[in-house]
Amino acid sequence: MEASEDMIEAIDGLAHAIHLGLSNLGNGNAATPMGALEAHGQAMLEAAENIASAIRELSISIDTFKM
C-alpha cells in the first residue's frame, strides 16, 4: 500500500510543478509583475523602438550630408 501512496504523492508533486511553471507564463498568478511571454513582448517592443530610432538618426544624417 505504501508504494501506491508514494506514486500518488509523486504525481501530485509533478502536477503542482507543472501548474507553477505554467502560471509563470501568463499574467495570472505570475511570480513577476508580468508573465514570461508579456516580458518578452515588452523587450521586443523596446528593441524595435531602438532600431527605429537608429534608422531615424541615420536618415537625418544622410539628409544633412546631401545638403
pLDDT tens track for 18-65? 887 776 665 555 555 666 677 788 889 999 999 999 999 999 888 888
pTM of the model: 0.48
The pLDDT of residue 40 is: 81
Q: How does residue 67 score in pLDDT terms, banded at 50, 70 and 90? A: low
The pLDDT of residue 9 is: 87
- Within 10 angstroms of residue 58's Cβ, the number of other Cβ atoms is 10
The pLDDT of residue 21 is: 75
Cα separation of 19 and 21, whole Å?
A: 5
C-alpha cell recorded at residue 54: 537608429
